[in-house]
Amino acid sequence: MLLDGIYDAALLLYALSLLFVFSDCLRRNPGGKRLGTGLLAVVGLLQATGLFIRFTQEGGLPIFTPYDFLFWFSFSIVVISLAIAYTRGGEFTILLLSMAGFSAFLLNRVWLTAEDHTLQSWSAVHGWLAMHVILANLSFAALTLGTVFAIMYLFLHTRLKSKKWDDRIRRLPSLETMDKYSYTSILAGAPLLTASMVLAGISIIAEGQIPLFQDLKVLSTLTGLGIYIIYIVLKLSGRRSGTVMARWAIAGYVFIILNFLLNSWSEFHGWG
């Protein structure tokens, strides 16, 4: 199948790109960095081709299955990584983002297929539900970026506190920069997640499925959103250290991951 061949080629090139980026992080290697970035660009083109094929197969935007959600997430991460590749000191950010995007892409290839978990209900509210899924995916990408900077912040803080640094550590952005970028990313992702949840609520009401407000997936999403809201409030108050805020950011992301894993037990999208 053409689509499978394109995805397999993209997955292979993604793995190679990740290896070149990793080698550049281990020891400064401008040639390897350029090659890794070039391969990542090809991955993006292959994924865009795959999305176009899925669009023609479905007769519309393919977003209503976990398969497509993960694929769009991986594609978003590739685009973000390519944008960061043109900034100074973004090697480790690209590495962590690429690991997240590649993991999602690999999981998609070994766990799901385009025919699995198709939408079984919600025929009357596809418009609202489509916007819900799109905003959820965008928020997922933004919150992933925020979590990457939070992880890097904790790593650098630990190394500086123990007075262990080398050339690789010096290539990382400053603590202040990573704290700022993490906050900015979460400040973008949290409102998108909020809007996504509002549209999900409208979809539930329009479909007359009020009991779904008690669905485990809905409750876990609200918990994660609540953590991010607390994070933003604490950040604005300025009463917590950067390490505490980084831990809050990571805690919120754990619930977002849990939210996706709950698809198998959720009735919300008919993804049973």
Report the CATH number that the domain containing residue 95 is assigned in CATH. 1.20.120.660
pLDDT of 79 > 90? The answer is yes
Mark whether 124 and 257 lie in a shared domain.
Answer: yes
Residues 69 and 94 placed together within one structural domain of the fold: yes
- Taking only the tens place, the pLDDT of each residue in 113-167 is 555 444 444 444 456 677 877 888 899 999 999 999 999 999 999 988 887 777 7
Cα 174 to Cα 209: distance, rounded to the nearest angstrom: 49
- Both 88 and 99 in a single domain? yes
Q: Which of 102, 118, 134 is the last residue of a domain?
A: 118
Q: Taking a C-beta distance cutoff of 8 angstroms, is the pair 90, 172 a contact?
A: no
CA pair distance 76, 95, nearest whole angstrom: 15
- For residues 180 and 92, membership in a common domain is answered with no
Taking the C-alpha atoms of residue 181 and residue 158, their distance in angstroms, rounded to an integer, is 19
Same structural domain for residues 84 and 171? no
- Concatenate the DSSP letters of all residues of 112-173 into one string: --TTTT---S-GGGHHHHHHHHHHHHHHHHHHHHHHHHHHHHHHHHHHHHTT---HHHHTSP
Helix axes 66-84, 126-161, angle to 10 degrees: 50
Give the orientation angle of helix 91-111 with respect to helix 2-26, to 10 degrees.
Answer: 150
Hey, what are 11's tokens?
């997955």
Residues in the chain: 272
Q: Which of 118, 137, 157 is the last residue of a domain?
A: 118
Same domain, 112 and 242: no
Q: Which residues of 13-41 are buried (b: 16+ CB within 10 A; e: fewer)?
A: bbebbbebbebbbeeebeebbebbbebbb
- Taking only the tens place, the pLDDT of each residue in 40-75 is 999 999 999 988 887 787 666 666 677 778 888 999
Note down the domain range covering 1: 1-118
Please report the pLDDT score of residue 50 as a whole number.
87
Same structural domain for residues 18 and 144?
A: no
Q: What is the pLDDT of residues 174-185, one digit of tens each?
A: 899 999 999 999
Query: For residue 31, what pLDDT is reported?
Result: 81
The pLDDT assigned to 134 comes to 84
CA 26 vs. chain centroid, Å, equals 24
For residues 92 and 172, the answer to whether their CB atoms sit within 8 Å is yes
Query: What is residue 174's DSSP assignment?
Result: P
Q: How far apart are CA 54 and CA 71, in angstroms?
A: 11
Number of domains observed in the structure of the chain: 2
Cβ neighbourhood burial of 208 (10 Å; 0-12, 13-18, 19+): exposed
Q: How many other C-beta atoms can be found within 10 angstroms of the C-beta atom of residue 106?
A: 15
| 198-239: pLDDT as tens digits | 887 777 777 666 776 677 777 778 888 899 999 999 999 888
pLDDT at residue number 271: 39
Instruction: Report pLDDT for 14.
Output: 94
Could you tell me if 159 and 78 lie in one domain? Answer: no
Same domain membership, residue 136 and residue 74: no
Q: Are residues 57 and 132 in the same domain?
A: no
Q: Are residues 96 and 166 in the same domain?
A: no
Residue that is last in its domain, among 56, 90, 118: 118
Considering the domain architecture, whether residues 106 and 177 belong to the same structural domain is answered as no
Provide the 3-class DSSP secondary structure of residue 266: coil
Q: What's the confidence (pLDDT) of residue 128?
A: 67
pLDDT exceeds cutoff 70 at 269: no
